[in-house]
Amino acid sequence: MDIQINIKFYGILHNYHPDDKLLKIKVPAHLTIQALSQIIYTTLCQSTSYSEEKNKELIQILKSSAFAKNDDLIEEDDFVLQSGDLIAILPPVCGG
C-alpha cells in the first residue's frame, strides 16, 4: 500500500528543490533508505531538466545524507512510514 509523505530538503539540496515547500510523494509504507533515495532522485529528475553531471551529484549527495523521520534520525536501513510523516534529508556539511 502506498502512502503520502512529505520531504524537507536542507543545505545544498535546496538547489534541487529550490522553493521552501515540502515535496509530497507517494511511497510504499515499508522501504529502505536506499529505496527512498531512489524514489526521491527519480521524482526530482522528472520535475527538472538538470544536466547529467548535476544528476550524478544529486545521487552522491543522497547517498551520503542522513535521513530523519519526524525529527528522529533514521538509524535502521529498513523502516516503516506512516501517511503524513515528515522526512528531512540532511546532506553532509563541510567547512572549517
Mean pLDDT of 26-33: 89
Q: What angle do CA 53, 20, 93 make, to 5 degrees?
A: 55
pLDDT digits (tens, 9 = 90+) for 46-94: 877 778 888 899 999 999 999 999 999 988 777 788 999 999 999 988 7
pLDDT band at 96 (very low <50, low <70, confident <90, very high): low
Architecture of the CATH domain 2-90: Roll (3.10)
Nearest to 36 by CA among 45, 46, 27: 27
Task: Give the global pTM.
Answer: 0.85
Domain boundaries, the chain: 2-90
The whole-number pLDDT of residue 95 equals 58
